[in-house]
Structure 1
Amino acid sequence: RDPSTDVAVLKLTDTELPVAEIGDANSLKVGHLVMAIGRGKERGLSASLGVVSNAGGAWRSMLGGGIDRFLRLDLNLYPSSVGGAIVDATGRVVGFSTSGPRGTVLTIPASTVNRVLDQLVQKGRISRGYLGVGMQSVFLQEALINKLSISSSHGVMVVSVEPQSPADRGGILLGDILVTLNDTPVQDTRDVQAFLASQIVGQTVKVKAIRGGELVELSIVIGER
């Protein structure tokens, strides 16, 4: 199971079951009809009809999982339907449902599910880049921005460093403020998560950080978690 995308692999002994046709979540637009399917223990099948209320690009879950497309649905999601199939108007499965913030209904696209499943089947887990630091976003004073010629108004302060972690071995210290990773600005923890998700484990990353009011440059080899 991958908690960051809420995707899990189940093994079935019956190989003669029918297989649903997979659709493309990228083809969905605002206003398109969709249906959420579920099955409860007591009342059996359930279905609710609705529309796509918002569609956007790739995003990250609260746990850092990469989701290929943002799809918010306007429909009544029954408890038995959470994690069930979302089908389009042609009956193709375009993803599965999950609960979003403040009672919203979101879709994990089929492309995301298949990508995660491939890794879970092959490795039993999802390989993700790892630095080994606790972080929080901090505001950078204008005087410091001007002095160091920094383009961002925020950085990511290191509030903890795990012993013998990639960050520890690379020389990151408590209180360092990360401003770029491979010249990519980072202003909050999600920026760091997004960067690590796009990198290869074992790759060396150039880190620029503020330390004692000066800009320092470090090299860190990305670990795996």
Structure 2
Amino acid sequence: MGFYDDFDAKPRKRSGSWLASVIIAALVGSGSTLLMVPAMIKANVIKLPEASQVVSSNGKLPSQTVAYNVETGIVSAVNRVKPAVVTVVNIQKVGGYFNRGLKQEAGKGSGVIIDNQGHIVTNNHVVDGASDVEIIVNDEHIKAKVLGTDELTDLAVLQVPTDKIKEIKPVELGSSEALQTGEPAIAIGNPLGEFEQTVTVGVISAKKRMMEIYGQNGRVVHEQPVLQTDAAINPGNSGGALINIKGQLIGINSAKIAERGIEGLGFAIPIDEAKPIIEQLMSKGKVIRPALGVGVEWDVKDIPENYKSGLPINYGVVVSNVTPGSPADKAGLKAGDVIFKIDNTQIHTFLDLRKYLFSKKPGDTVQVTFYRENKENTVSVTLMELK
């Protein structure tokens, strides 16, 4: 019986190799082999494989031994940020005659501690309708104050007493603009409101997706830029942190498309978009945006043809009402006017109108061009604050 080392294909030196074969063959089946092997190895009669190479169990296929450091960038980032991600509890009053004064938990989401002053960022829909809000830190329920909310961007800012979180290091804010498609993205939150500080890992799938925000009438009223990631973001993750490999906050988890057959579509509000909103919510309790003082229910492209009689354009928005005493009212705008241009920007839809106005601020003056009874008119309007 012989021993064939198929792993080593290198030519063998004749001197010594035949001696090793004879000695091994003579000792096979003998218990004394175990006693002699160390001496044979030391005398270089038997040569062991390199330290990075081992022979598999079938004696033929090689496998590689690899040294691996568990302290990866992802682990380091998670360890820095995870304590700053908290559970947000929405508590609402219970309806009914016999339940007056009673309150109960209506839902849970996530939030992120962003500074040493006790400010926590979450989603508007996480705290919407709440009579009270609490956060959970290390199993302790802490009452939180809602400083401000913004429905359009789905952001909200809470505040808790600083002594309750003094041992927690706030998350460092990063830059979403500096992100590159394909770089790691780490989501931390509380999926289903139960599994606290759950970590999922993926990549930045796209940087500037536009998510449509719908009003109560089913019309698109706003477009929110979002980051797309394949890191799993489930119900309860809303308001949690999306971080980069450096452990910096790059987004606030906001939504997940969950349709049959579709996976890996998570979205987060980019931190560069969120920063000015967060600052206004902290300082003013709301986001200040400009407005003309008109209501719009129809885009021209959507109204029946028989109502467009004589209208020389097929775009613009139809004014449905004018707020009494508003800048639009003072400028002479009326219900039925078709606004199709502001300054030098064409207005095709209500979304176009809102986008342009939101690029301004209250007190700015704009030139509004519209059709009334198929005649073109232009008026100056000083923008007011959107109520």
* Count of residue pairs brought into register by the alignment: 218
Aligned partner of 2:340 in structure 1 is: 179
Are the structure 2 counterparts of residues 82 and 157 from structure 1 closer, same or farther at C-alpha, using a change threshold of 3 Å? same
User: 1:72-95: CA deviations, max 9, x gaps?
Assistant: 222321222111000112222101
Match of 1:22 among 152, 155, 173: 173
* Post-superposition offset of 1:126: 1.1
Mapped partners of 1:97, 1:84: distance in 2: 5
Alpha carbons 2:177, 2:272 under 8 Å: kept: no
Is 1:137 aligned to 2:288, yes or no? no
Aligned partner of 1:107 in structure 2 is: 268
* Post-superposition offset of 1:207: 0.7
Q: TM-score, normalised by structure 2?
A: 0.51
Mapped partners of 1:102, 1:39: distance in 2: 17
* Post-superposition offset of 1:102: 6.5
Aligned partner of 1:162 in structure 2 is: 323
Mapped partners of 1:130, 1:50: distance in 2: 40
Mapped partners of 1:93, 1:124: distance in 2: 22
| Structure 1: stretches of 5+ with no match in the other structure | none
Alpha carbons 2:300, 2:315 under 8 Å: kept: yes
- Name the amino acid aligned to 1:25: S
Aligned partner of 2:201 in structure 1 is: 49
- Name the amino acid aligned to 1:91: G
Q: Secondary structure of 1:80's match?
A: coil
Structure with larger RCO (C-alpha < 8 A, sep 6+): 1
Mapped partners of 1:217, 1:43: distance in 2: 58
Alpha carbons 1:87, 1:93 under 8 Å: kept: yes
Match of 1:94 among 230, 250, 258: 250
Is 1:13 aligned to 2:165, yes or no? no
Q: TM-score, normalised by structure 1?
A: 0.84
* Post-superposition offset of 1:197: 1.0
* Post-superposition offset of 1:224: 0.6
* Post-superposition offset of 1:202: 1.7
Aligned partner of 1:81 in structure 2 is: 237
| Structure 2: stretches of 5+ with no match in the other structure | 1-148, 216-220, 260-264
User: 1:194-225: CA deviations, max 9, x gaps?
Assistant: 11111121222211101111101112121112
Structure of larger gyration radius: 2
Is 1:191 aligned to 2:352, yes or no? yes
* Post-superposition offset of 1:171: 1.0
Q: Secondary structure of 2:180's match?
A: coil
Aligned partner of 2:54 in structure 1 is: none
Alpha carbons 2:234, 2:256 under 8 Å: kept: no
Identity %: 29
Give the superposed CA RMSD: 2.7
Are the structure 2 counterparts of residues 80 and 102 from structure 1 closer, same or farther at C-alpha, using a change threshold of 3 Å? closer
Mapped partners of 2:211, 2:360: distance in 1: 17
Mapped partners of 2:353, 2:187: distance in 1: 34
Aligned partner of 1:31 in structure 2 is: 182
